[in-house]
Structure 1
Amino acid sequence: MKYKTLGRTGIQVSEICLGTMTWGTQNSEAEAHEQMSYAVEQGVNFFDTAELYPVTPAGPETRGLTEDYIGTWLKASGKRDDIVVATKVSGPGRPYIRNGTPASPKTMREALETSLKRLQTDYVDLYQMHWPNRGHYGFRNSWTYDPSGQDRKAVPEELLAILEALGDFVKEGKVRAIGLSNDTAWGVMTMLSIAEKHGLPRLASIQNEYNFLYRQFDLDLSEIAHHEHVGLLAYSPLAAGLMTGKYLNGAKPEGSRLSINGDLGGRYTEYQEPAVAAYAKLAKAHGLDLAQMQIAFSLTRPFMTSVIIGATNMQQLKTNIGAKDVKLSAEVLAGIANLHKMYPAPI
């Protein structure tokens, strides 16, 4: 396992991060514990969660269970000091999370204190804003994204208040580093500028989606990652399972995310099928597992800090972690580049 530095923090994280959003619905507590133990044996030292999880599907009855399961494992294993734990505070729009209100210093503190209790720890290593208050193009919103209605004065003031709250958490020793998720190039640069001006904590990372079917990060955000050391924590590296090939030709395996969530968060459209089939053909031609080819490619990206994998069974977990040992040939990389030109934005 390789390790990388989280931003400019000095915190070392494994290039494979264990994602946890299925724990509490598709996975039991015992299965979650088994996954964590195996991942750590393979060198993974980075777990990612959120107060919202699980999200397969999301709902008020199960919210927080994922953090609960991590907490019981940390307590039983005694490995808290060995694990970099990342969690997130939700943005607006979920009625069952603080009545759907935007993130604010007050709600952020409520969220953090609750997460700490669930995780059975005194601190989180990385605390992230799950999505911004002002709107964003994540979660399939890129087709309707329009920032023209944002208040040019109010939004920066709101970001300052958020950073001040995060700064308080850091001073109190409850948070070691901070990050964003589902945010934009403007959001990152504005937060960096505010932090520098006011002596507040600096962003260490941004957690956005990245896979063969969704590569917006290759553009402006990759330049920010390079110059500002705000690396990508890539979520949905297999596009919610599409990049395993298991949904090709209309297949819908029992118990799979597609059988539960319907459209895979807007990813399961008519446009993805030809692209997935083409990548599957490329992998087969070179004797590669499609999922491992996808993750291995993501690990080659210069802006990548860690790829957040997820699994609902141990075989999936072993396959995904095993991608760290897969080296892609120049021919495979050229094939991937050609397919990206043919299918630049299929989801």
Structure 2
Amino acid sequence: MNYKKLGNTDLDVSTICLGTMTWGEQNTEREGFEQMDFALNQGVNFWDTAEIYSIPMREETYGETEKIIGNWFQKTKKRNDVVLATKVCGNTSNKYIRGGGNSFGKKKITEALDESLRRLKTDYIDLYQLHWPERSTNFFGDYGYEHDENDKDWTPFEEILESLKKFIEQGKIRYVGLSNETAWGLSKFLELSKIKGLPKMMSVQNPYNLLNRTYEIGLAEISIREQSGLLAYSPLAFGYLTGKYRNNKLPAKSRMQLFKDFNRYKNENGQKAIDEYYKISKKYNLDFTQMSLKFCEIQHFTTSVIIGATTMEQLKTNIESVNVNLNSDIINDINKIQQKYPNPCP
């Protein structure tokens, strides 16, 4: 396994991060336990979850993934072997999440953290992340930003950081990060942390894969210069970059077969790009899944790549991607496809 520092901390995290959002929906608790046992044995010490998991979001499964992880900690007594990351959601219309609305105000974010700690059966969280902004901005695949002068009903960044500082002082969290954030949002948080002596955002969990390299525009430079690295989610683009959906295939129990609304990566240019990348993997005798993951891992701005698997076979393939080598010829071929089909699936 490979390791990198989380931000500018002394914390070493595996460059493969165990994603967990299927546990409680597509995966049972027993299967989640099996994944955690195997991943930790392979040197994967970094796990990511969220209060809203499992996915897709449903009231019936809200918090279920955190409960499964907490039960594993209780059973194995291995909490201290894991760097644990979870998230508090931003503005939401789901009334079952603290009545809906914004979640980063002092009262609600305190409730959210305490609820996560209870479900996870732990006294502390290593990395506490803001899952998406409260303000209106472009994330979750939106290209265009439409500014709304009337959008002022969101918690000031300084107030959020003050709450997070309090949690750190209380020993409830160690470090903080962002998710689904923009270059402006990250830069403002970093600016305030320097000026006001408040906690620094150590990471940004955003989508990054061969079909969506938009993180390279703006955010990548900030990540490198400010030591606030990317935690790349959806590195396999909902499974499209494994090749299993090529030629209109729809495997049983796959995410796209079960949840047809997840269509971010289903468009004409995206499918053409997938076929081109698949050809590259065959040209160099590489596993397509592993080539896709390794490309994300080797980026200078990437701290860790979040993998999600529903079967042990998938998990093993994903973790073994750390042993793949992408030489300059492979990278050049990949970049030629990016130039031909630039970010077809934002």
TM-based fold match above 0.5: yes
2:118 corresponds to 1:117: yes
Determine the structure 2 residue equivalent to 1:51: 51
> Does residue 1:318 correspond to 2:316, yes or no?
yes
DSSP-derived class of the 1:214 partner: coil
When the two chains are superposed, the root-mean-square deviation of aligned CA atoms in Å is 1.4
Deviations 1:199-241 (A, max 9, x none): 1111110000000001111111111011100000000000111
| Inter-partner Cα distance in structure 2 for 1:296 and 1:8 | 23
Deviation of 1:264 after TM superposition, in Å, equals: 2.2
Inter-CA distance 190–154: structure 2 relative to 1 (3 Å threshold)? farther
Give how far 1:150 is off.
6.3
The alignment-based identity, stated in percent, is: 47
Match of 2:267 among 266, 269, 283: 269
How far apart, CA to CA, are the structure 2 residues paired with 1:137 and 1:18?
Answer: 26
Counterpart of 1:98 in structure 2 is 98
Q: Is the Cα contact below 8 Å between 1:139 and 1:265 reproduced in 2?
A: no
SS of the residue 2:99 aligns to:
helix
| TM-aligned CA distance change 1:150 to 1:170, over 3 Å | farther
Closer, same or farther: CA 314–150 of 1 in aligned 2, 3 Å: farther
Structure 2 Cα separation of the partners of residues 3 and 184 of structure 1: 26
Q: Which residue of 1 aligns with 2:142?
A: 141
Distance 2:129 2:147 in 1: 22
Q: Decide whether aligned partners of structure 1 residues 285 and 40 sit closer, same or farther in structure 2, where only a CA change above 3 A counts.
A: same
Describe the SS at the equivalent of 2:171.
coil
- SS of residue in 2 equivalent to 1:266: coil
| Cα displacement (A) at 1:266 | 2.4
Letter in 1 for 2:116: S
Paired position in structure 2 for 1:42: 42
Give 1:244-255 correspondences, 5 Å limit.
Answer: 244-255=242-253
- For normalisation by structure 2, the TM-score amounts to 0.96
The one-letter code sitting in structure 1 at the alignment partner of 2:272 is P
What is aligned with 1:129? 130
2:14 partner amino acid: S
**Partner letter of residue 125 of structure 1?**
D
Code of the aligned partner of 1:301: Q
2:182, 2:219 within 8 Å by CA — same for their partners in 1? Answer: yes
**Contact 2:21–2:53 (8 Å) recurs in 1:** yes
* Cα pair 2:290 2:317 within 8 Å, conserved: yes
Cα displacement string for residues 47-68 of structure 1 (whole angstroms, at most 9, x for unaligned residues): 000001011x220100111001
In the alignment, which residue of structure 2 is the partner of 1:84?
A: 83
CA–CA separation in structure 2 for the residues paired with 1:73 and 1:43: 17
Q: Cα 1:131–1:53, aligned 2, differ >3 Å: closer, same or farther?
A: same
Give the SS at the match of 1:176: strand
Partners of 1:69 and 1:271 lie apart in 2 by 38
1:298, CA displacement in angstroms?
0.9
Superposed CA offset, 1:34-77 (max 9, x none) = 0001001110000000001011x220100111001111111111
In 2 relative to 1, CA 150–227 (structure 1 residues): closer, same or farther, beyond 3 Å?
Answer: farther
CA distance in 1, matches of 2:123, 2:21: 22
Question: Superposed, which structure 2 residues align to 1:208-223 within 5 Å?
Answer: 208-223=206-221
- Paired residues for 1:145-294 under 5 Å: 145-149=145-149, 158-294=156-292
* Corresponding residue for residue 7 of structure 2: 7
Deviates more, 1:270-279 or 1:18-27: 270-279
CA distance in 2, matches of 1:192, 1:265: 33
Between the aligned partners of 1:22 and 1:219, the Cα distance in structure 2 is 30
Distance 2:20 2:137 in 1: 23
Deviation, structure 1 residue 154: 7.1
Per the alignment, residue 328 of structure 2 pairs with: 330
Provide the residue aligned with 2:18 in structure 1: 18
- What amino acid sits opposite 1:20 in the alignment? T
Q: Do the aligned partners of 1:136 and 1:182 also contact (CA within 8 Å) in 2?
A: no
Cα drift, residue 270 of structure 1: 2.8
Instruction: Tell me the residue number matched to 1:69.
Output: 68
Judged with a 3 Å threshold, the aligned counterparts in structure 2 of structure 1 residues 263 and 248 are, in CA distance, closer, same or farther, namely farther
Structure 1 residue 197, shift from structure 2 partner: 1.8
DSSP-derived class of the 2:61 partner: coil
Mean alpha-carbon deviation: is it higher for 257-266 or for 302-311?
Answer: 257-266
Structure 1 runs not aligned, ≥5 long = none
Equivalent pair of 2:136/2:148 in contact (CA under 8 Å)? no
Report the secondary structure of 2:4's partner residue.
strand
For the residues of structure 2 that align with 1:269 and 1:176, how far apart are their CA atoms? 41
Gaps of 5+ in 2: none
Q: Shift of residue 148 of structure 1?
A: 4.8
Partner Cα distance (2:304, 2:93) in 1: 28
For 1:279-305, what per-residue CA distance to the aligned partner results, in whole angstroms no more than 9, with x for missing partners? 111111111111100111111100010
Contact in 2 for aligned 1:140/1:265 (Cα 8 Å): no
